[in-house]
Every structure is written in structure tokens, then in C-alpha cells.
């Protein structure tokens, strides 16, 4: 008897556990572009083009390798609209012994798949998700008995476990973390190698036409689509990053620049998250660059920490704290997402630029996501559910397993501090230090009160004050509360008044 192997749109690698041991003569691979996955949030148009085109290219590869593939395009007359409907149909046609699928990346889909066995009356086998280095239970084992779940210690365990950047039992260079060396901004216009781009082929062209018609109401621009859509292309992106940008990755990791979100970042998140690249090959390429003196330790460690540390950690964190994480709102933030998150129409230049980058490219780098967009969402008290939905739909690399820990736990402190020991809140001076956004802003970053004052300045102190009961006894916040008591009382009063006025304007959707 045959088996049916369902390959999801973010499981595009021949090494996936679900593809091992497949009988090419009898088993059927099932792949489907479906409405349920493409619209559970209104994904950025470029993300849908990327996923559908990468799926179509992967199906071709599977056929070339001799697999039997049943592929359903979004606009084909026999498309049934949901993964379940296609699996049900395939079960009726082939009467398989079992349906096989690798563990999906999102809780909502896992919950659905877990019901299939009883609904279909056929075995459904869920294999482990080998797009990650750590097994899923690794986080739970590590977390057992802990009250705090700091990434740094999880990361060290994985360094020891994998031997990456290790000399025996000790970290290369004697330190685990070189973040202190990674905080430079650009002093003058930098000469940065451009990001890798790829010609649109006939397959991608067809998908672009489809998305233009079917998803016209979704956020984002489709102009200048240039992402890799095959593993071979994604490997080129990786190689180019290692050769041209890894050297300075660390140094400028936190820097921001108007009109350029790409900088010295790797731009591989979307490929890792769809299986076009596997994490260990990326990490070994970075380790190899270090071993061959092509990149310094601060850059290589910084890069390896993002993937071996943060990426593995947030994935473990997600499964450990779901489904509860979804409903967390520790700071009781209730404000609606302002319109400018969609339109970029705000006088705050940093926010306008980051939304424009996001709209244009389905990409913004980490510090734009964390310290501009996220910082604003935190300081303004935006409601976690709305903020999560926005982040989940606007970025090409967004899947709930990675988006939600970053948004709810890292940005919004909505989980009450399992991930972060204090909120990532900052005034305008941080943005000014790390970017050139303030130079062409309507507001003045130096001013703390008044019509021209940078809103991040007064919102910061308003946030600190209105959450006093939550943070006053946090040792990492003590200094901030001490500083506040030393500040001029009238100035503090004016800042709170300015913040109140600003937040009322925001609620009324007036331009700010
Ligand atoms: P680089 O800066 O070159 O980093 C290399 C890789 O490290 C990334 O590709 C990614 O795989 C990994 N990485 C780095 N930081 C993180 C992190 N905090 N969590 C997990 N992996 C990390 N990343 C996503 O992949 N999908 C998301 O939906 C997503 N949402 C985010 C939302 C917020 C609010 C924040 C603050 C961060 C989010 N990140 C997300 C993490 C990070 O911003 C992106 O991974 C990164 O910007 C992708 O660009 P890059 O490939 O050029 O990354
Ligand atoms: C993101 C995405 C999109 C846009 N479309 C599809 C699709 O049509 N078919 C499919 O199998 N997968 C798609 N995906 C990826 C899934 O949403 C992803 O597998 C789940 O969110 C679990 O991570
Ligand atoms: Fe952003 Fe304030 Fe700088 Fe304007 S002045 S760009 S609002 S940080």
C-alpha cells in the first residue's frame, strides 16, 4: 500500500524527515497552494509570491528526482482550498496506509493535523521537524525547574552540544558573547555590497500575475521581486553574505540607515524558515570563515548566536509556552494599531522609513523591528494581538513560531518577563545614536517636551511611570526610577501631558 506525504510550503528541503524512506514507486507526495494558508493572515504579497514560487520549484525538483508529486496550484479548477480537503481527497483516491507530514511550525496547524487521524480513519504520522538543530524537547528539558529562561544560557548549551566556536570545553577566544563589540553606527555613507538579487523566471512571473489578481487587497508592494526561490539560489545568497558581508556583520549589526534595510545582514531568514537552507550548513559556513581568517570573532559569534541562539531558543520557547503565549498581555496594553503601520503616513521619520522598507521589501532588519517599530508599539501600549498579526503578515520570514516570541515576549513584554529581564524600551536618543533617521525628521530628538519634541522621548517616561507597579522593583529598572525622581518635576509633568495628548491623537487616528 502507498503512503501520502504532505509537504507544507515551509518544508522545502529533500532532507526533511518526512521525505526519508519514501518509496518512489508507490508513495505520493502532496503539495497544495491553498486559501486557508494564504489568508489566515493577509500575508505581504511578496511573501506569497516567494512561498508559491518556491513550492512550485521544489515540486519540479521532486519530480526530477523521481517522486510522484500531486501539486495543486491556487487557481487550478480542482483546488479544494484547504490542506485538509486535499488530504481527504488523496486518501479517498489512493487508500493509503498512512499520511505522513513533518511537524508543522505553527500551533494552529498542529492542532488541526492532530484531528485528521480520527476524521480520516487513517493513520497520520507526524515526524520531527529537522529544520532546527535542537530537538523540540531540548528546550523543555533545559527549562525544567527554571524560573528564568535566558537565551544566553540556552545558547551556551547548544555551543557545547554542537562544538561550534568551541576550543575543547571553552568558547573560542575565551568569551561566549562579543555583543559589546557590536554596537557601531555609520559615521559616514557606507559602501555596502548590495543584496543578492535574482531574475524573475517564468514560474515566478506566473505567480506574480496570480498574486496581483487574487491577493490585490493584501499589504505590500510587488515591484522588483528579487528573492531566491530555489535552494541553489538561496545557497548563493549565503555564499555572497559569507564572502562580502559577514566580516562587518557584527560591527554594524544594530546600525540603521535611511533607505537601506539590507546593510550587512544576511537576508536568509526567509530561506531558513522555508527549508531552502538548513541551519547547520549556515553555521558551518560561518565557522569556516572564522577558521580561515575571513571574518573576525565578534562577527562570526554574533551571527552564530542569532541562529544557534535566538532562532533555536524562540522556537523552543514558542512550543513550551503555547497556547498560553497567544493571550498574554502582562502590561494590559489595549490601544489599536495606528493606520500608519499600513500607510507609513507619520511625521516620525524613523517609523515612516521602517514601514516603507517593510511595505516595499517584506523585510526590515532586526533593530528596525525591535527598536523602532517594536519600541513604539511597547511605549504606546498597542494591543499584543493586533501587533502580532501585523508582524506575522508583513515579513517574508514570518511564521508564528518565530514571530510571536519576538513580538509578545521580546518587544511587548506581554509574557511578563520569561524571555527578557526588562523591557526593550528606549527614548529617541537610542534611535538617533544608531541611525540617521532623526536628521530629516519633523521632530527634534533633542527636545523632551513641546510640539517639536520627539514623541519617543515623552512616551518613554510615560511608559515607565504608567507601569511603575510592574517594574519599580525590577533591579534592572531601578536606575531608571532613580533618574526619574531626580528630574525636574515641572518637566516631568509636561512630558506626561505631551504623552497624553499624543496618545489621544493616536486614538483619533490624527496624523502624528
Ligand atoms: P540576520 O540579522 O542576518 O540574522 C541571521 C539569522 O539569525 C536570521 O536570518 C534569523 O534566522 C536568525 N535570527 C536573528 N535574530 C533572531 C531572532 N530574534 N529570533 C529568531 N531568529 C533570529 N525572524 C524571523 O525569522 N521571522 C519573524 O517573523 C521575525 N519576527 C520578528 C519580530 C520582531 C518584533 C523582532 C524584534 C524580530 C523578529 N525576527 C523574526 C528576528 C529577526 O529580526 C529576523 O530574523 C531578521 O531580521 C531576518 O533578517 P536576516 O536574515 O537578514 O537576519
Ligand atoms: C505561508 C504559506 C502560504 C502563504 N501558503 C501556503 C500554501 O498555500 N500551502 C502550504 O502548504 N503552505 C503555505 N504556507 C506555509 C504554511 O502556512 C506553514 O506551513 C504553516 O504556517 C506552518 O508553519
Ligand atoms: Fe524617530 Fe524621534 Fe528621531 Fe524623529 S526625532 S526620527 S521620531 S527618534
Residues with CB under 6 A from ligand 1: 265-269, 272-273, 306-307, 310-311, 314, 365-366, 369-370, 374, 391, 395, 397-398, 402-403, 406-407, 410-411
Cβ-Cβ contacts under 8 Å for 18 (sequence gap 6 or more): 5, 6, 7, 11, 100, 101, 102, 127
CA of 442 to the centre of ligand 3 (A): 8
| DSSP label of 496 | H
Q: Which grid cell is 408?
A: 509578545
Exposure of 64 by Cβ count < 10 A (0-12 exposed, 13-18 middle, 19+ buried)? Answer: exposed
Kindly report the CA angle at 425 between 251 and 314, in degrees rounded to 5?
70
Residue 50 near residue 270, CB atoms below 8 Å: yes
Q: What is the pLDDT of residues 422-467, one digit of tens each?
A: 999 999 999 999 999 999 999 999 999 999 999 999 999 999 999 9
pLDDT > 90? residue 197: yes
Among protein residues, the one with the nearest Cα to ligand 2's atom 9 is 33
Cβ-Cβ contacts under 8 Å for 160 (sequence gap 6 or more): 166, 169
Residue 233 near residue 245, CB atoms below 8 Å: no
Size (the chain), residues: 512
Q: Looking at ligand 3, which atom is closest to the CA of residue 372?
A: 1
Q: Looking at ligand 1, which atom is closest to the CA of residue 262?
A: 52
Please state, in angstroms and rounded to a whole number, the distance separating the CA atoms of residues 494 and 505: 17
Only one residue has cell 503565549, namely 325
- What is the chain's mean pLDDT, rounded? 97
SS3 505: helix
Only one residue has cell 551571527, namely 303
pLDDT > 90? residue 187: no
pLDDT > 80? residue 138: yes
Q: What is the pLDDT of residues 285-334, one digit of tens each?
A: 999 999 999 999 999 999 999 999 999 999 999 999 999 999 999 999 99
Q: Which of 382, 389, 379 is nearest to 333 (CA)?
A: 382
Residue 421 near residue 148, CB atoms below 8 Å: yes
Q: What is the pLDDT of residues 8-62, one digit of tens each?
A: 999 999 999 999 999 999 999 999 999 999 999 999 999 999 999 999 999 999 9
pLDDT > 90? residue 181: no
Measured from the CB, is residue 428 less than 6 Å from ligand 3? yes
CA of 308 to the centre of ligand 1 (A): 12
Q: Which grid cell is 151?
A: 537565551
pLDDT > 80? residue 189: no
**Domains of the chain: residue spans and CATH:** 3-127 (3.40.50.620), 136-192+245-321 (1.25.40.80), 340-507 (1.10.579.10)
Only one residue has cell 517616561, namely 461
Q: Which grid cell is 247?
A: 566580516
Exposure of 156 by Cβ count < 10 A (0-12 exposed, 13-18 middle, 19+ buried)? Answer: middle
Amino acid at each position: 500500500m502507498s503512503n501520502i506525504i504532505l509537504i507544507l510550503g515551509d518544508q522545502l528541503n529533500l532532507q526533511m524527515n518526512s521525505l526519508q524512506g519514501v518509496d518512489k514507486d508507490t508513495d505520493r507526495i502532496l503539495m497544495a497552494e491553498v486559501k486557508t494558508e494564504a489568508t489566515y493572515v493577509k500575508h505581504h504579497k511578496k511573501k506569497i509570491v516567494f512561498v508559491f514560487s518556491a513550492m512550485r520549484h521544489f515540486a519540479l525538483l521532486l519530480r526530477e528526482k523521481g517522486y510522484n508529486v500531486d501539486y495543486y496550484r491556487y487557481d487550478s479548477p480542482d483546488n479544494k482550498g484547504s490542506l485538509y480537503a486535499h488530504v481527504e481527497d488523496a486518501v479517498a483516491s489512493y487508500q493509503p496506509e498512512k499520511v505522513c507530514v513533518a511537524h508543522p511550525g505553527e500551533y494552529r496547524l498542529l492542532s488541526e493535523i492532530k484531528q485528521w487521524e480520527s476524521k480520516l480513519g487513517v493513520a497520520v504520522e507526524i515526524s520531527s521537524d529537522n529544520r532546527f538543530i535542537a530537538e523540540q524537547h531540548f528546550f523543555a528539558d533545559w527549562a525544567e525547574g527554571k524560573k528564568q529562561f535566558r537565551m544566553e544560557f540556552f545558547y551556551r548549551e547548544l555551543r557545547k552540544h554542537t562544538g561550534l566556536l568551541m576550543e575543547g570545553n571553552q568558547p573560542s577566544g575565551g568569551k561566549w558573547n562579543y555583543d559589546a563589540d557590536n554596537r557601531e553606527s555609520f559615521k559616514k555613507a557606507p559602501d555596502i555590497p548590495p543584496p543578492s538579487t535574482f531574475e524573475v523566471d517564468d514560474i515566478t512571473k506566473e505567480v506574480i500575475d496570480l498574486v496581483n489578481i487574487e491577493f490585490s487587497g493584501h499589504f505590500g508592494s510587488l515591484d522588483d521581486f528579487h528573492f531566491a526561490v530555489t535552494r541553489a539560489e538561496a545557497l548563493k545568497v549565503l555564499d555572497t553574505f559569507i564572502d562580502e558581508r559577514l566580516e562587518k556583520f557584527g560591527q554594524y549589526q544594530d546600525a540603521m540607515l535611511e533607505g537601506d534595510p539590507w546593510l550587512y545582514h544576511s537576508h536568509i531568514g526567509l530561506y531558513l524558515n522555508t527549508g531552502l537552507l538548513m541551519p547547520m550548513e549556515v553555521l558551518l559556513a560561518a565557522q569556516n570563515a572564522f577558521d580561515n581568517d575571513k571574518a573576525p570573532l565578534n562577527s562570526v559569534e554574533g551571527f552564530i548566536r542569532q541562529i544557534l541562539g535566538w532562532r533555536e531558543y524562540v522556537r523552543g520557547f514558542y512550543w513550551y509556552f503555547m497556547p498560553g503565549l497567544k493571550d498574554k498581555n502582562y502590561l494590559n496594553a489595549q490601544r489599536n494599531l495606528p493606520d500608519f503601520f499600513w500607510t507609513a503616513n507619520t511625521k516620525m521619520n524613523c517609523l515612516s522609513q521602517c514601514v516603507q522598507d517593510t511595505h516595499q521589501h517584506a523585510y526590515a532588519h532586526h533593530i528596525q523591528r525591535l527598536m523602532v517599530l517594536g519600541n513604539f508599539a511597547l511605549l504606546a501600549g498597542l494591543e499584543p494581538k493586533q501587533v502580532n498579526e501585523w508582524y506575522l503578515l508583513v515579513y517574508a520570514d514570518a511564521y508564528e513560531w518565530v514571530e510571536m516570541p519576538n513580538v509578545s515576549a521580546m518587544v511587548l513584554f506581554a509574557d511578563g518577563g520569561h524571555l527578557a529581564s526588562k523591557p526593550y524600551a528606549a527614548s529617541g536618543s537610542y534611535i538617533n545614536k544608531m541611525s540617521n533617521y532623526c536628521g530629516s525628521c519633523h521632530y527634534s530628538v533633542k527636545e523632551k517636551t513641546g510640539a517639536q519634541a520627539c514623541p519617543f522621548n515623552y512616551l518613554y517616561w510615560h511608559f515607565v511611570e504608567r507601569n511603575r507597579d510592574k517594574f519599580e522593583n525590577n533591579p534592572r529598572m531601578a536606575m531608571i526610577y532613580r533618574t526619574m525622581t531626580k528630574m525636574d518635576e515641572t518637566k516631568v509633568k509636561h512630558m506626561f501631558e505631551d504623552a497624553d495628548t499624543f496618545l489621544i491623537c493616536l486614538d483619533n487616528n490624527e496624523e502624528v
